[in-house]
Amino acid sequence: MEHELNSHWKIAGQGLRTRWAKEVHPQNVLQEYPRPQMIRDEWMNLNGLWEYAITPKETQLDEIKEYDGCILVPFPVESALSGVQKPLKPDEHLWYRRTFSVPKNWEGYKLLLHFGAVDWKTEVWVNGDKAGEHSGGYTPFSFDITSCLTEGENELVVQVWDPTETFLQERGKQTLHPKGLFYTAVSGIWQTVWLEPAPNQHISSFRMVPNIVSKELTIHIDLASIRKDIHYEVEAEAYENGKLISSARGAVGEGLKLHFSEISLWSTETPFLYDLNLRLIEDGHPIDTIRSYFAMRSFTVEQDKQGVKRLFLNGEPLFQHGILDQGYWPDGLYTAPTDEALAHDIEIAKQLGFNMIRKHIKIEPARWYYHCDRLGMIVWQDMINGGGGWNNLYHLIIPNFASSLKVKDNKYKALGRQDKQNRDNYRKELKEMIDALYNVPSIGMWVPFNEAWGQFDAAEIAEWVRGYDPSRPVVHASGWYDQGVGDIKSVHIYFRKLKMPQNIEGRAVVISEYGGYSLMEKGHMWKEGKGFGYKKCRSREALNAFYASLIRQQLKPLISSGVAAAVYTQLTDVETELNGILTYDREFVKLDMELSQELSMILIEGR
């Protein structure tokens, strides 16, 4: 069966591709360990060719007699790299099927089935038994499938329903009708699928809290289950360049504290990472071991020596020179072709002189954040937007022509959040995002809402986020409909000259979107001759001149007035939106690299 599937797979269509597409093969697709901060030695990657079928929504599992063909997991069904490149309609289900065998040395362990992300509603069967279901397109989830297993070959079937914009779920910029600011929908499995054996009692999650003042790391560990008749302990060991520098051991449920005599701080210039080992000990014997890493750093909002609110890293003010990144690929859509490609965009942003990426309305695979951690790139993490559709009055007219009007975001119907279940689901997925990414050293900001797209009760939600994660600042409303609360005032400025906003009210000021200068590069476009941008440039020279003037004449003078960070739109072209510094295929850098580095130093170091 595997050979038969391999012989039928090829990249679909003749559209734009990246250089990494030619490296993608069914036998080697995204083989890297998918969870860098929680590593167990034993695992099985299920990426590769699966059978797939698209059926009417009412079709049941036992009614599928034949599959349509093969699909390369984990690329979404709409993507070229999936080998399918077909849309999934709201009245359809997408089915996946494959088989697997459990290694003999895994006997006696629980078997966990992990999904990095599947968009949107997922149901899973193993050998015909229901293993579980999950709603939400951006966060990881897993099922204990031990009770479903049989000797020899096991059958795994996954069903997905994705209504895209016809429903209210969190979906980002996906649409069934791509145009302008909205892009091709992403359905089904789009991150790594894998199996992992774990002891009956095992570490299910943990939270790390660094304190650079007291020079200690506190670790809170959760177990999958606890037997009251057994004594459990947990042990933690921290390593610096391979040398053990601190250890602690204590009872389950108590926060372990690792103390350090000296610490190496993580920063954008020196992104130092410590290694960490965690062990679960049952009646004196280690039964579960986790390898991880952490960093010692702090993100705060404080006053500088002039009494102006700034963003601080490790107790020092740092201007965060950011770039907007939407994480789309012409060949894989939400899924980068390779791990090298995933790291490439961060490396280019670093080379251009940016010290921060705003991850815009997308949650990336865990390895993307690992690359930011090791490369020293601060991340502002957006929550995914959802709710009702576009409202011209609230999403176009007021923000652009009457921005001085104060709009309260408890107008649920106006902003597309009149459905209470939908608001509750947003809160659930927001918590899931923070839980999944809490330990990431490079994340320096949470952004619950962007430009009023599904915004509601932003002040209350930002307060909840600050309580749930006190270690990071929060932009409660990026761009529009500021509710006058929190530590940060955010504005988006397009089409107009950059200037300080009004109603700062003692907060740090960030321009969380600006720029958007576009340049067409023939041969590197999603659709030749079609493109959108906020300011069109006719040549590379014009783009560089406009960008240099924007930085030198407009943005730089605002720093002394109080602007603490700014996010340029954007890192790459996305489909027909052509305001990227890189073309969509990542082959052409439109902005002069040396000029960009020079301008970055002007902003970050005040040169």
CATH of the domain at 17: 2.60.120.260
**List of residues 6+ apart from 3 with CB closer than 8 A:** none
Residue 440, Cβ neighbours under 10 Å: how many? 21
Tell me what the mean pLDDT of segment 116-141 comes to.
Answer: 98
Q: Does residue 185 sit in the same domain as residue 319?
A: no
Q: Does residue 326 sit in the same domain as residue 431?
A: yes
Using the predicted structure, report yes or no on whether residue 607 has a pLDDT greater than 70. no
Q: Helix, strand, coil: what percent of the chain each, to 5?
A: 20, 35, 45
**Residue 6's pLDDT is what?**
58
**List of residues 6+ apart from 552 with CB closer than 8 A:** 599, 602
pLDDT band at 7 (very low <50, low <70, confident <90, very high): low
Tell me what the mean pLDDT of segment 281-309 comes to.
Answer: 96
Closest CA to 95 of 157, 43, 30: 157
Q: What is the mean pLDDT of the chain?
A: 95
- Please state, in angstroms and rounded to a whole number, the distance separating the CA atoms of residues 19 and 345: 13
Contact in structure between 132 and 112 (CB atoms under 8 Å): no
Q: Does residue 496 sit in the same domain as residue 593?
A: yes
- Please state, in angstroms and rounded to a whole number, the distance separating the CA atoms of residues 313 and 299: 5
Q: Does residue 397 sit in the same domain as residue 344?
A: yes
HSE-up of residue 575 (Cα within 13 Å, Cβ side): 18
Q: Pick the last residue of a domain from 198, 227, 258.
A: 198
Give backbone dihedrals phi and psi of 125, rounded to 5 degrees, phi first.
Answer: -125, 140
Chain segment 271-291, per-residue pLDDT in tens: 999 999 999 999 889 999 999
Q: Does residue 381 sit in the same domain as residue 331?
A: yes
Reading across the β-sheet that carries 299-303, which strands appear in turn?
299-303, 309-313, 316-317
**Which 3 state secondary structure label does DSSP give 7?**
helix
CB contact burial 512-526 (16+ within 10 A = b; e otherwise):
bbbbbbbbbbeebbb
Q: Pick the last residue of a domain from 259, 294, 329.
A: 294
**Residue 56's pLDDT is what?**
97
pLDDT band at 405 (very low <50, low <70, confident <90, very high): confident
**List of residues 6+ apart from 329 with CB closer than 8 A:** 18, 79, 335, 336, 337, 341
Q: What is the CATH number for 262?
A: 2.60.40.10
Q: Does residue 243 sit in the same domain as residue 364?
A: no
Using the predicted structure, report yes or no on whether residue 114 has a pLDDT greater than 60. yes
Chain segment 517-534, per-residue pLDDT in tens: 999 999 999 999 889 899
- Please state, in angstroms and rounded to a whole number, the distance separating the CA atoms of residues 62 and 39: 37
* Cα 333–Cα 76–Cα 345 angle in degrees, nearest 5: 30
For 348-409, the DSSP string reads: HHHHTT--EEEE-S----HHHHHHHHHHT-EEEEEPPP-SS---HIIIIIHHHH-TTS---T
Cis, peptide link before residue 368, omega less than 30° from 0 = no
CA distances from 240 to 243, 260, 272, 275, 545 (A): 5, 11, 9, 7, 45
Token digits of residue 385: 């937007």
Q: Does residue 255 sit in the same domain as residue 320?
A: no
Q: Does residue 263 sit in the same domain as residue 353?
A: no
- Please state, in angstroms and rounded to a whole number, the distance separating the CA atoms of residues 607 and 604: 8
For 408-423, the DSSP string reads: -TT-TTTTT---HHHH
Q: Which bin fits 106, alpha (ψ -120 to 50), beta or left (φ > 0)? A: alpha
Q: Pick the last residue of a domain from 294, 326, 352.
A: 294
Tell me what the mean pLDDT of segment 430-438 comes to.
Answer: 98
Q: Is the pLDDT higher at 399 or at 1? A: 399
- Please state, in angstroms and rounded to a whole number, the distance separating the CA atoms of residues 487 and 493: 20
Strands 193-198 and 44-45: antiparallel
Chain segment 439-495, per-residue pLDDT in tens: 999 999 999 999 988 999 999 999 999 999 999 999 999 988 889 888 899 999 998
Chain segment 177-222, per-residue pLDDT in tens: 999 899 999 999 999 999 999 999 999 999 999 999 999 999 999 9
**Residue 392's pLDDT is what?**
80
Closest CA to 453 of 168, 184, 178: 168
% the chain with pLDDT above 90: 86
Q: Does residue 572 sit in the same domain as residue 471?
A: yes
Using the predicted structure, report yes or no on whether residue 142 has a pLDDT greater than 90. yes
Q: What is the CATH number for 337?
A: 3.20.20.80
Q: Which range marks the domain in which residue 56 is found?
A: 2-198
Q: Is the pLDDT higher at 243 or at 2? A: 243
pLDDT band at 297 (very low <50, low <70, confident <90, very high): very high
Chain segment 39-96, per-residue pLDDT in tens: 999 999 999 999 999 999 999 999 999 999 999 999 999 999 999 999 999 999 999 9
For the chain, how many structural domains are there in total? 3
Tell me what the mean pLDDT of segment 153-168 comes to.
Answer: 96
What single-letter amino acid sits at 273? L
Closest CA to 416 of 377, 435, 390: 390
**Which 3 state secondary structure label does DSSP give 201?**
coil
Q: Does residue 321 sit in the same domain as residue 275?
A: no
pLDDT band at 129 (very low <50, low <70, confident <90, very high): very high
Contact in structure between 217 and 210 (CB atoms under 8 Å): yes
Please report how the helices 540-549 and 593-604 are oriented relative to each other, as an axis angle in degrees rounded to 10.
Answer: 10
Contact in structure between 583 and 570 (CB atoms under 8 Å): no
Per the document, the length of the chain is 607
- Please state, in angstroms and rounded to a whole number, the distance separating the CA atoms of residues 509 and 493: 13
Q: Does residue 211 sit in the same domain as residue 160?
A: no
Contact in structure between 196 and 112 (CB atoms under 8 Å): yes
Using the predicted structure, report yes or no on whether residue 606 has a pLDDT greater than 80. no
Tell me what the mean pLDDT of segment 542-549 comes to.
Answer: 98
**Residue 126's pLDDT is what?**
98
Q: Does residue 422 sit in the same domain as residue 471?
A: yes
**Residue 409's pLDDT is what?**
87
